[in-house]
């Protein structure tokens, strides 16, 4: 088993990393072998007496990992030396049972199905995490539906919005990912069992029966046919997780930008020196967001590898299949690490409503320019209204004054807009459009999706 974890795994992969360490990878391959022996005994292919001896040796701790790794160099995969060693272990106590180890299967069957079992465990871990993240975001969206803040386009102040609506946007994407994850579980996490060339010929007339029994043993759906060289399932899993990592990265990007000293509208949780600096005592870094952004940066290239690997040759791929082994594990664990960190960040995210209110005033009222132009357009026409407000914005910027003062100094504005109407148009609270309804729709959709 793994003597020492890789030093960066807890940072970038979090708890899900253990599901893809060497010991776990080997154990899930051995689980396939044990289940195969049971399925073949049930269908009369091998003697039932052989099963206990095979099952007893399907334990990863009985294997020499260094010897397996060395043998894989010559064999080209881990399955060949694993089956050889398993056979030897069984033979040491039951030579007759050893004859039936790996009966009718091929290396790709044990490797791919072992990976499917790992992926199922990963999804079992990720789905509740994604649900918890969505719940935390939903709470933010509901609680801060009236917390005013600046909406920013191209990193510039644009219009008033609410933090609740920003969070609702995150939630809407998370709900889609939860739906995708549930969809691909049934479609992609299926048994891989085809024998040497996908025909199950070694099992003769019992091939389909063994495949069905094996699927039942492993509690996996049975596909219509073996899929040795059709890996759209793995590619779809990779793509869906790549999308999830991208959304987590988008949330992380928003949080990191809002944490900038000059903005200061949100803050990641701080405890046990979290986010500190080795040199600057005052720093509070967005460490959770950093992990999510790192994953979002790495995932596109890894997903590209999985898509490229789909062009497998004939009935067994040359290189493409092999390229998937570490790549898909990286995709799952990096996405899982990102999800783990962002769930923690969002659940304890500090929202500074005072800073948001203060930043609303930084443009001296110019974020309300569209609102005023819209109000004037109803009386003067769009083109004239746009020109008048642009001139007022330029004057306010040049004089260093509030937009209100520049507007009031313009006779055309005073004639077109009573003072009370102008004040109403300049209030951010009055220019939130359909924000409340949009939040309600997204929250309702989330409750349905979860």
What residues act catalytically?
277, 316
Residues in contact with 279: Cβ distance below 8 Å, sequence separation at least 6, in sequence order: none
Give 361-407 as a 3 state SS string: CCCCCHHHHHHHHHHHHHHHCHHHHHHHHHHHHHHHHHHCCCHHHHH
Specify the residue for token string 């195969």: 36
The token pair at 214 is 């094996």
Report CA-CA distances (Å) from 46 to 54, 101, 148: 12, 10, 70
Alpha helices (H) in 78-106, listed in sequence order: 79-91, 95-98
Q: Name the region of 427 (left: φ>0; alpha: ψ -120 to 50; beta: rest).
A: beta
Phi, psi of 149 (to 5 degrees): -155, 175
3-state helix, strand, coil in the chain (%, to 5): 70, 5, 30
Residues in contact with 377: Cβ distance below 8 Å, sequence separation at least 6, in sequence order: 385, 386
Alpha helices (H) in 13-158, listed in sequence order: 22-42, 51-57, 65-75, 79-91, 95-98, 107-143
Specify the residue for token string 């996908």: 198
- Helix (H) / strand (E) element for 350: namely strand 350-351
> How far is Cα of residue 97 from the mean position of the Cα atoms in its chain?
44
The token pair at 19 is 């599901």
Quick check: 362 and 396 in contact, CB under 8 A?
Answer: no
Can you tell me the distance from the alpha carbon of 246 to that of 243, in angstroms, rounded to the nearest whole number?
5
| Residue 150: strand, helix, or coil | strand
| Residue 159: strand, helix, or coil | strand
Q: Any idea what the Cα angle at residue 296 is, between residues 293 and 300, rounded to 5°?
A: 155
Residues in contact with 361: Cβ distance below 8 Å, sequence separation at least 6, in sequence order: none
């Amino acid at each position: 088993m793994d003597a020492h974890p890789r030093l960066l795994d807890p940072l970038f992969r979090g708890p899900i990393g253990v599901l893809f360490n060497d010991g776990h990878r080997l154990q899930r391959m051995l689980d396939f072998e044990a289940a195969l022996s049971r399925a073949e005994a049930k269908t009369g292919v091998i003697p039932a007496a052989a099963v206990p001896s095979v099952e007893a040796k399907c334990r990863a701790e009985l294997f020499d990992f260094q010897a397996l790794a060395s043998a894989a160099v010559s064999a080209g995969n881990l399955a060949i030396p694993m089956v050889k060693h398993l056979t030897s272990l069984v033979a040491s106590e039951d030579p007759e049972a050893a004859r039936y180890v790996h009966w009718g299967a091929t290396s790709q069957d044990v490797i791919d199905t072992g990976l499917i079992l790992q992926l199922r465990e990963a999804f079992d871990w990720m789905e509740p995490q994604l649900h918890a993240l969505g719940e935390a975001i939903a709470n933010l969206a509901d609680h801060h539906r009236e917390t005013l803040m600046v909406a920013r386009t191209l990193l510039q102040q644009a219009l008033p919005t609410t933090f609740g609506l920003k969070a609702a946007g995150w939630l809407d994407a998370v709900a889609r990912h939860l739906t995708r994850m549930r969809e691909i579980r049934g479609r992609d996490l299926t048994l891989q069992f085809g024998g040497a060339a996908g025909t199950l010929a070694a099992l003769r007339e019992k091939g389909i029966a063994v495949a069905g029994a094996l699927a039942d043993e492993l509690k996996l759906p049975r596909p219509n046919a073996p899929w040795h060289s059709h890996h759209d399932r793995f590619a779809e899993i990779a793509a869906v997780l790549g999308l999830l990592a991208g959304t987590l990265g988008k949330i992380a990007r928003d949080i990191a930008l809002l944490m900038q000293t000059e903005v200061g509208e949100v803050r990641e949780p701080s405890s046990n020196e979290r986010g500190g600096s080795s040199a600057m005592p005052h720093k509070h870094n967005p460490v959770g967001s950093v992990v999510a952004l790192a994953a979002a940066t790495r995932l596109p290239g890894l997903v590209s590898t999985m898509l490229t690997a789909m062009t497998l040759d004939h009935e067994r791929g040359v290189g493409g299949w092999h390229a998937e082994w570490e790549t898909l594990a990286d995709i799952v664990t990096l996405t899982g690490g990102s999800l783990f960190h962002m769930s923690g960040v969002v659940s304890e995210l500090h929202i500074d409503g005072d800073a948001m209110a203060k930043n609303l005033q930084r443009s001296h009222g110019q974020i309300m320019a569209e609102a005023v132009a819209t109000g004037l357009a109803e009386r003067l026409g769009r083109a004239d209204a746009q020109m008048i407000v642009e001139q007022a914005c330029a004057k306010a910027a040049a004089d260093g004054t509030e937009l209100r003062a520049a507007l009031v100094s313009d006779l055309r504005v005073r004639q077109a807009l009573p003072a009370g109407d102008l004040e109403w148009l300049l209030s951010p609270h009055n220019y939130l459009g359909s924000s409340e309804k949009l939040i309600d729709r997204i929250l309702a959709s989330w409750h349905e999706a979860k």
